[in-house]
A and B are shown apart, each in its own frame.
Chain A
């Protein structure tokens, strides 16, 4: 029971962080049809910027400024890069962001070096919040969950209850109509791209010190958030939420369970010994399979339900 509750809390906080990243990605995708390969690079940029700014002006200043700066970077990328490639189609846009992720990785390594930077948790958020049976639950993890939930709530309200959200939603489905009503749709796209990047930056600010701030952090999460967006249904926020939590649960629980198919068979009295054909396949434990599970989920979802778990349209 203790293991179950703690793992559940861990997977919730990880899943919410994934959702913060993937919500921006899925918004950008549903508007512009661009799968932003560099999205996780903006997450990395957020973490590094927060590290630098918090060293000068403190964590709370960085908490607000770093996502803004990342958002501005996103706006610039959209305005001066992506828009020029738009006329060549979606594959060219995907390739552009793919190249951008290389460049951003190199730039980060140039500025902050190739090893991890000591981006720590602020003092007032250190320590444990409560103790569950014998395991302590850190304050910072609760803070991460709180920030994620509040941000996403704000995002939801902004998209459904405000005029800006109305225009954004209309631009998703009927860009020509919105344009003929006098709105500047390319500017809306630009702002959404910037907003999505700012969300990724915020995820970096709160995730960078919970995990490690290093050049490999973008690559580690980059493909996972693709899985979230695609498996959840491209362009569906609720689908992204579902998939994020699902992947959080799958990864957290699988890593902790050290059982294999062979153990199950042995329990039923069907054990094999080393040397029997297939032994090495059966003896792989669930924790060893863990890194593969998100991709297996992706492939299965795409094969059996190509529009994703909660997606409304194909491709």
Chain B
């Protein structure tokens, strides 16, 4: 209890000018990113990162802030996407007035409406039971997408054209860069809204429901209704994310409702970190890098994704964002106490772990693909027929595995930081 009180005070005492600075910086990054990284592939990745951030943040309203594990988040975002596609088509036919930049409102209302509809009964429970109900709801919505082809478009999905109506200030949102800025604008709005939501009494009460439901009930609030509200807020922002997805791809298929989609949101939110506000945004960046960027380079990207996730669950349950501060602390201490040798040792064994894993995984995928030639890896040709690269990879990996803990311990002893900071074993 005392720690939370302190956390709140720390935020409250943070000068508002500094917050303003952070917001301006965030806006500047959003504005300038496509000006610096101009390639069209990267622009498409950036757009997807923005959408992923909205989705991951909306998911974290449940998982991180209210402690509700959901396996059905795709139901909200997916229904938002389908509704947006239909509204875009209606507006395109002139049956409805809604310019494209306001389409996410349709998605938001859909997500909110669906959450309001099913939320009251399913938020009575929390924990594993809630997780299973959301799994059931998500699968039901997914299964129904093939039952009602009139709305969901069957196997082919429903497509739409995002260029319709009068242009806004000469923008018709045809080119990807204009879509990027539309996504960025909505991202900024959503981030601001969700950030200040955590500062409201409602946000604090949701944290209370997560930490100690019984005490919240004793204080006089109804945990059930609080969870219901959390689900509706989350559904609203998930609907916005789904609408942005629909605008970006101009299509909604049953894939956006599947368990894969729900699982992906869960994976990346958790990898980024649920304990901090910035964590899910970091997770979305990592997610796009792992699922959109990495497949261009290796067939084993799903293996890396699974490995990263499992390692985060086992060694850094606070997510990667929770490692930033301890890592910076260790770095600062290393510099100030001049313990470069033992720091280098830790870096070396972490590097060996990474290199050994990459060598073995790449060799396995190369062998499985049935390629006859040797595997080019970082400028070295590895012949997967002979035992040499396998042995080398295994030795490097084992060397890293055996030395990382002693190296970390040695560094921490030298730096004389407490064992509590021993989460710094990074991979």
- Residue ranges of A at the interface with B (Cβ–Cβ < 8 Å): 33, 35, 81, 84-85, 88, 90-92, 94-96, 98-100, 102-103, 105-106, 109-111, 113, 219, 223, 226-227, 230, 234, 280-281, 284, 288-289, 291-292, 295-296, 298-299, 302-303, 306, 314-315
Contacts A106-B303, A280-B148 given; indicate if A85 touches B368 (C-beta within 8 A). no
Task: For residue A301, give the distance in angstroms from its CB to the closest CB of chain B.
Answer: 9
**Bound CA–CA A15/B306 (angstroms):** 32
A-B contact pairs, 27 of them (CB 8 A): A35-B131, A91-B69, A94-B69, A94-B131, A95-B270, A99-B306, A106-B303, A106-B306, A110-B303, A110-B368, A226-B135, A227-B136, A280-B149, A284-B147, A288-B147, A289-B147, A292-B147, A295-B136, A295-B143, A296-B136, A298-B132, A298-B135, A298-B136, A299-B122, A299-B133, A302-B136, A303-B122
Given contacts A106-B302, A226-B135, contact A315 B317 (CB under 8 A): no
Inter-chain CA distance A84–B137, complex, in Å, is 31
B368 touches A296 (CB 8 A): no
Q: Are A85 and B314 in contact (CB under 8 A)?
A: yes
User: Is B364 on the interface with A (CB-CB < 8 A)?
Assistant: yes
Interface residues in B142-182 (C-beta closer than 8 Å to A): 143-144, 146-150
Q: Are A302 and B129 touching (Cβ within 8 A)?
A: yes
Out of B132, B313, B364, which one reaches A110, CB within 8 Å? B364
Q: B261-284 interface mask toward A, CB cutoff 8 Å, 1 = contact, 0 = none?
A: 001001100100000000000000
Q: Write the chain A residue with the least CB distance to B307.
A: A103
User: Is there an interface contact between A303 and B302, defined as CB atoms closer than 8 Å?
Assistant: no
Which residues 299-346 in B have Cβ within 8 Å of A in the complex?
A: 300, 302-303, 305-307, 309-310, 313-314, 317
With both beta carbons as reference points, the residue of chain B lying nearest to A102 in the complex is identified as B306
Q: Could you tell me if A223 and B129 are in contact, using CB atoms closer than 8 angstroms? A: no
Other-chain residue from B147, B148, B313, B364 in contact with A92 (beta carbon distance below 8 A): B313
Residues in A neighbouring B139, C-beta threshold 8 A: 223, 292, 295
Known contacts: A102-B305, A103-B307, A302-B125. The answer to whether A230 contacts B132 by CB under 8 A is: yes
CA distance A111 to B263 in the complex (A): 24
Question: For chain A, what secondary structure do more than half of its interface residues adopt (helix, strand, loop), or is it mixed?
Answer: helix
- Residues of chain B within 8 A (CB-CB) of A223 are 135, 139, 259
Report the minimum CB–CB distance from B301 to chain A (whole Å). 10
Our pick among B148, B365, B368 for the contact of A284 (Cβ within 8 Å) is B148
B57 to chain A, nearest CB (A): 19
Residue contact B368 to A90, C-beta cutoff 8 Å:
no
Chain B CB within 10 Å, residue with most, of A105, A109, A110: A110
A219: B residues at CB distance < 8 A: 259
B12 in contact (CB, < 8 A): no
B317 and A92 form a contact (CB under 8 A): yes
In the complex the two chains form, what is the Cα distance from A96 to B313 in whole Å?
6
A295 x B140 contact (CB < 8 A): yes
The 10 closest A-B pairs by CB, nearest first: A102-B306, A292-B143, A298-B136, A99-B310, A103-B306, A99-B309, A295-B136, A299-B136, A295-B139, A295-B140
B131 touches A281 (CB 8 A): no
Which chain A residue shows the least CB distance to B305? A102
Alpha-carbon gap, A295 to B135, bound state (A): 8
Q: How far is the CA of A226 from the CA of B137 in the complex (A)?
A: 13
Closest Cβ of chain B to A283, distance in Å, is 10
- For residue B121, CB closer than 8 A to chain A, the reply is yes
- How many angstroms between the C-alpha atoms of A280 and B149 in the bound complex? 9
In the complex where A94-B69, A106-B306 touch, is A302 in contact with B132 (Cβ < 8 A)? yes
Contact: A99 with B313, CB < 8 Å?
Answer: yes
A275 to B365, CA, bound (A): 53
Assuming the A-B contacts A99-B309, A103-B306, are A94 and B148 also in contact, with contact meaning beta carbons closer than 8 angstroms in the complex?
Answer: no
Q: Give the residue name and chain of the B residue nearest to A227 (CB).
A: B136
B127 at the A interface (CB under 8 A) = yes
User: What's the minimum C-beta distance from B221 to chain A, rounded to whole angstroms?
Assistant: 21
B132 with A226: CB separation less than 8 A: yes
In the assembled complex, B124 has its CB within 8 A of some CB on chain A: yes
Question: Known: A106-B306, A284-B147. Contact between A90 and B137, CB under 8 A?
Answer: no
Determine if A299 and B147 form an interchain contact, defined as CB atoms under 8 angstroms apart. Answer: no
Distance A35 CA – B129 CA, assembled complex (angstroms): 11
A30 to chain B, nearest CB (A): 12
Interface centre among A85, A90, A109, A292 (most CB of B within 10 A): A292
B128 at the interface (CB under 8 A from A): yes
Q: Are A296 and B140 also in contact (CB < 8 A) when A35-B128, A92-B317, A280-B150 are? A: yes
Give the Cβ gap from B335 to chain A, nearest Cβ, in Å. 32
Scoring B121, B139, B149 by chain A CB atoms within 10 A of each residue's CB, the highest score goes to B139
| Cα A314 to Cα B137 with chains together (Å) | 20
Closest Cβ of chain A to B397, distance in Å, is 16
CB proximity of B130 to chain A, nearest CB, Å: 9
Query: Within 8 Å CB of A314, what residues of B?
Result: 125, 129
Q: In the complex, what distance in Å separates the CA atom of A81 from the CA atom of B129?
A: 24
- With A99-B310, A110-B364 as contacts: A298 and B133 at CB distance below 8 Å: yes
- Whole-angstrom distance between the alpha carbons of A88 and B140 in the complex? 31
For the complex formed, measure the closest distance between the CB of B150 and the CB atoms of chain A, giving whole angstroms: 5
- Please tell me if the beta carbons of B129 and A306 are within 8 angstroms of each other in the complex: yes
Instruction: Kindly list chain B residues whose C-beta atoms are within 8 Å of the C-beta of A234.
Output: 128
Known A-B contacts A94-B128, A289-B147; the reply to A81 vs B303 at CB < 8 A is no
Cβ-closest chain A residue relative to B63: A91
Q: Which of B56-83 contact A (CB under 8 A)?
A: 69
* Cβ-closest chain A residue relative to B300: A106
**Do the beta carbons of B132 and A102 come within 8 Å of each other?**
no
Least CB distance, A117 to chain B, in whole angstroms: 14
Report whether B140 and A292 are in contact in the complex, using a CB–CB cutoff of 8 Å: yes
Chain B residue nearest in CB terms to A112: B368
